[in-house]
């Protein structure tokens, strides 16, 4: 009888907990209200629940970054701003707050300028998100189908030439936008960059504790990951210098 009562009580508690589960919009609203009340630690927990529910959007990562920044936890703020920027590379607010947080880091390493063509291509593809490029590609493809149908049923030579040109243009835009969507999706899926989370770490010449110390770096610095051996990552600094670092010292974006 006692066992039955216990099971019944657990069912009541479970159903009560289930009933209190908030939807993503409700969680977002509650988290924003908590943030406005300057309860930043509690707000972080609410935003974390959104992430657990699979609601991974730039706004959530950005807001978590703001909470950490308000709590003076700069490294965590940088990490979440970078996560937000990865999903929305065109967002100026995220870029501004990230640059502001980076001013509080110890290492001021000058970043190598990328090749102008690479920089131009990245800038162009970062104009829209993966979803935005996908929508443009779909609209352009529908336009292509419409122009082709009109071309087939039109007998005027001049109009046919115009429709042919519009069809080719729509095809090019659709393919370009499709490539943009693929580029952005690949950027989101890749984890080739990381943030240093230890206050001070030594970069080694080899993936071993007895490797030569090459330089010292500090928390908050963003690095690129080039290779992995056991518990070590081969990293590249913004200025192009490279070396080995234990995996536990950083967190991949």
Residue 136 has a pLDDT of 95
Q: Are 151 and 131 in contact (CB under 8 A)?
A: no
Q: Are 89 and 130 in contact (CB under 8 A)?
A: no
Q: Which helix (H) or strand (E) holds 217?
A: strand 213-218
Q: Can you tell me the distance from the alpha carbon of 145 to that of 142, in angstroms, rounded to the nearest whole number? A: 5
Q: Decide: residue 251, CB within 10 A, 0-12 exposed, 13-18 middle, 19+ buried.
A: middle
So where are the chain's domains? 20-102, 116-189, 193-252
Residue 65 main-chain phi, psi, to 5 deg: -60, -40
Residue 20 has a pLDDT of 56
Looking at domain 20-102, does it have CATH number 1.25.40.10? yes
Per DSSP bridges, beta strands 193-196 and 222-229 are antiparallel
Q: How far apart are the first and last CA of the chain?
A: 53
pLDDT along the chain (253 residues), means of 10: 46 45 86 95 96 92 98 98 91 95 93 77 82 93 96 92 95 94 79 94 95 96 95 95 96 94
Residues written for the chain? 253
Q: Fold identical between 20-102 and 193-252?
A: no
Write b or e for each residue in 103-115: b if 16 or more Cβ atoms lie within 10 A of its Cβ, otherwise e: eebebeeeeeeee
How big is the chain by its Cα radius of gyration, in Å?
25
**Mapped to the 3 state alphabet, what secondary structure does 158-202 carry?**
HHHHHHHHHHHHHHHHHHHHHHHHHHHHHHHHCCCEEEECCCEEE
Angle at the Cα of 47 from the Cα atoms of 46 and 52, rounded to 5 degrees: 95
Q: Can you tell me the distance from the alpha carbon of 112 to that of 119, in angstroms, rounded to the nearest whole number? A: 12
Domain 193-252: give its CATH code.
Answer: 2.30.30.40
Residue 244 has a pLDDT of 97
Whole-prediction pTM value? 0.75
Per DSSP bridges, beta strands 232-236 and 213-218 are unpaired
């Amino acid at each position: 009888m006692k066992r039955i009562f216990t099971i019944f009580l657990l069912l009541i508690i479970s159903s009560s907990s289930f009933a209190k589960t908030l939807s993503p919009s409700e969680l977002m609203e509650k988290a924003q209200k908590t943030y406005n009340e300057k309860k930043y630690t509690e707000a972080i927990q609410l935003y974390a629940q959104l992430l657990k529910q699979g609601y991974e959007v730039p706004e959530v990562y950005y807001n978590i970054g703001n909470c950490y920044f308000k709590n003076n936890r700069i490294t965590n703020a940088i990490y979440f701003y970078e996560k937000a920027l990865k999903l929305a590379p065109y967002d100026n607010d995220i870029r501004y707050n990230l640059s502001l947080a980076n001013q509080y880091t110890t290492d001021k390493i000058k970043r190598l300028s990328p090749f102008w063509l690479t920089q131009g291509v990245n800038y162009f593809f970062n104009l829209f998100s993966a979803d935005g490029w996908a929508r443009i590609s779909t609209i352009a493809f529908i336009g292509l189908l419409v122009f082709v149908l009109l071309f087939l049923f039109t007998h005027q030579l001049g109009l046919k030439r115009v429709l042919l040109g519009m069809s080719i243009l729509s095809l090019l835009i659709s393919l370009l936008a499709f490539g943009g969507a693929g580029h952005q999706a690949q950027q989101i899926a890749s984890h080739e960059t990381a943030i240093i989370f230890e206050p001070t770490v030594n970069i080694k010449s080899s993936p071993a504790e007895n490797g030569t110390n090459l330089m010292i770096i500090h928390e908050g610095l963003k690095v690129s990951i080039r290779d992995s051996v056991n518990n070590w990552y081969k990293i590249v600094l913004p200025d192009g210098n490279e070396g080995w670092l234990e995996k536990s010292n950083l967190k991949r974006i």
